Each structure stands twice: as C-alpha cells, then as structure tokens.
C-alpha cells in the first residue's frame, strides 16, 4: 500500500523536481501537484512534465493533497506555511527538506492549523546545481533522509513519511531536531562555510591574479569551488537559522586550526602525521558506508 496517494511539492528546484521525478519512477500512480514562487520555474516545470499540474498559487497546489513537501529556502518556510495553511486538508502530513530543523519546526507549528501532522525532514543529498532541470530521480538513492519529529508528532505520520522516503531509495533515520542541527553543523554547514571562505580568500589575493587561481586550480581547490557554487540564498538562510550550532562548531574549528598552526610553526611532524592519519581513516569509513565513490579521483570521468 502506498503511503500517500496525492502529494504537493512547494518549490520546484533541484530537490523538489528530484522528488517529483523519483515519485514518477517509484510510485507512478501517485498524483503530483507543484508550485514555485518563480513564474519562470513554474513554466519550465510544466514544460518538463514533472508534475500532473503546476498551479499559479500555493493554495491551489495543496488542495486535496495528503502530503505536502516544502522545498523552499529555510528562511522562507514560515511564509510558505502561511501561504498554504488555509487550504490544507485535515490530517495532511506536512514535511520539508531544509537542512536546519529546530527553527523550521517552530515556524511551521506557529502558522499551520492543529489538524496538520508536521514531520520535518532532511534528505542529505544534493548537488551544486539548482533549478528544475537539475533534478534527477536517483538523487536520493542510498542517501540518508533524517526525520525530526517532536513529542507532539503522531507516530503514524512519521511511519508514512518514512515509507515514502524509503520508496524513493533513501535510508531513513529519526533524530531529535536539536541533535540534527548540531550534527549537520559539523558535517555540512561548517564545510560549506570553509569552502566559501577559502574560495573568497583566493579570489581576493592581490598577489595572485584571478586567471592564475583558475588556471592552476589543483584537485582540492576544485572541490572547494564545487561546494562554494551552492545556492547562496539557501546557505545564507541555513547559517542564520542554525547560527548557535554553527558558531559552536566554528569555535571548535578555530581552536583546532590554532593547534595545527602551532604544530607547523614548531615543526611537530608527529602531530601532523597523527592528525592526517585519523582523518584519512574517516574518509575510508565514508566510502565503506557507501556515501561516496571509492574510484580514483572521486570517480571523475577522464574522457
């Protein structure tokens, strides 16, 4: 039995369009209605045929839906909730794909009616690309989707959403919202902040021209530029919404960088070797768990 019969996707960018494509591939009988605040995105999504109907208003998109997925920037979640609140059916499950969970849960609780089951979620998957053309059905295969209900969330709603993500190929984990935000501050938010900083520093160096930075980019810098190419609106909202956890991890990182700086200054090769050995082992663990490609050069094609 399918967990939902008719879903609504609010926001038809990379994640929203990938969800639509994945539902088409894995649950072809499920009805899909979509909406995006950008008229050009709505037009393109309709041309691509990723939904049965792309509406002109968010309220029209959620009418009769038994599950609504909010695929908008973290900072726009409350506004999106307000826009659909009056048109939601009683008992509908409302979820999201944001990478910060505590603030989203608070925002949705504040604006959605009591009969709605709110189950925040975070599919830990994505690329640096955006827009409806960037989506693909396999995006969630063997990736984690973290659900973060609180004590007020109905267990049955969590089970339905868990079944939904499992059918899309994801591995589902249930986690406390606050703990999620701390974990993601380490595994996602801080790395993005570091990538933005390194790429920004390189572009600002007066002693190296922009053409040289691009021309002589080594593999490490190229990987940082891939991360730093991510959607600026989304990541601005993430850092502001999860600032306590990000600032805590940033302080820890600063202290670790100071220790590394000291080791280099005092020629402490043992400290450097021990650190690099520990981090290499973490990389191998990520590959062993199937969260990255073990092929040389991160699986890049060399055609």
Q: Which of 104, 136, 119, 164 is nearest to 14 (CA)?
A: 136
Q: In this prediction, what percent of the chain has a pLDDT beyond 90? A: 56
Q: Categorize the per-residue pLDDT at 298 as very low, low, confident or very high, splitting at 50, 70 and 90.
A: very low
- What is the architecture of the domain spanning 179-294? Orthogonal Bundle (1.10)
Is 152 strand, coil or helix?
coil
Q: Is the pLDDT of residue 210 over 70?
A: no
Percentages helix, strand, coil for the chain, rounded to the nearest 5?
55, 10, 35
Q: DSSP for 74-96?
A: GGGHHHHHHHHGGGPPTT-EEEE
Q: What distance in Å separates the CA atoms of residue 43 and residue 32, rounded to the nearest whole number? A: 16
SS3 of 119-130: the string is CCEEECCCCCCC
Average pLDDT of the residues of the chain? 87
Q: What is the pLDDT of residue 192?
A: 86
Q: Is the pLDDT of residue 216 over 90?
A: no
Are 95 and 120 in contact by the 8 Å Cβ rule? The answer is yes
Enumerate the domain spans of the chain: 6-176, 179-294
Give every CB contact of residue 125 below 8 A, 6+ residues apart in sequence. 15, 18, 139, 140, 143, 144, 145, 170
Q: Which CATH number describes the domain made up of 6-176?
A: 3.40.50.720
For residues 146-163, give the mean pLDDT. Answer: 94
Q: Is the pLDDT of residue 68 over 50?
A: yes
Q: Which two tokens stand for residue 32?
A: 């899909």
For residues 170-190, give the mean pLDDT. Answer: 90
Same fold, 6-176 and 179-294: no
Q: Is the pLDDT of residue 285 over 70?
A: no
Is 146 strand, coil or helix?
strand
């Amino acid at each position: 039995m399918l967990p939902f019969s008719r879903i609504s996707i609010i926001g038809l960018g990379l994640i929203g369009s990938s969800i639509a494509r994945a539902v088409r591939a894995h649950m072809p009988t499920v009805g899909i209605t979509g909406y995006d605040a950008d008229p050009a995105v709505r037009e393109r999504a309709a041309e691509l045929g990723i939904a049965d109907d792309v509406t002109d208003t968010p309220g029209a998109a959620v009418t009769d839906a038994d599950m609504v997925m909010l695929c908008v920037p973290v900072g726009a979640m409350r506004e999106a909730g307000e826009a659909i609140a009056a048109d939601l059916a009683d008992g509908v499950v409302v979820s999201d794909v944001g990478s910060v969970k505590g603030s989203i849960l608070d925002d949705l609780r504040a604006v959605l009616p009591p009969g709605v089951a709110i189950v925040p979620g975070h599919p830990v998957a994505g690329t640096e690309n955006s827009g409806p053309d960037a989506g693909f059905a396999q995006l969630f295969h063997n990736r984690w989707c973290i659900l973060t209900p609180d004590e007020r969330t109905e267990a049955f709603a969590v089970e339905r959403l868990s079944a939904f993500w499992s059918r899309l190929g994801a591995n589902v984990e249930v986690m406390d919202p606050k703990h999620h935000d701390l974990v993601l501050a380490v595994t996602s938010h801080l790395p993005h902040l570091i990538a933005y900083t390194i790429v920004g520093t390189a572009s600002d160096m007066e002693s190296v021209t922009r053409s040289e930075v691009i021309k002589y980019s080594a593999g490490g810098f190229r990987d940082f530029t891939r991360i730093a190419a991510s959607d600026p609106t989304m990541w601005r909202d993430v850092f502001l919404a999860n600032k306590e956890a990000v600032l805590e991890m940033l302080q820890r990182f600063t202290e670790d960088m100071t220790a590394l700086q000291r080791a280099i200054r005092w020629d402490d090769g043992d400290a450097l070797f021990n650190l690099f050995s520990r981090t290499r082992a973490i990389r191998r663990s990520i590959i062993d768990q199937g969260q990255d490609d073990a092929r040389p050069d991160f699986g890049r094609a060399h055609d």
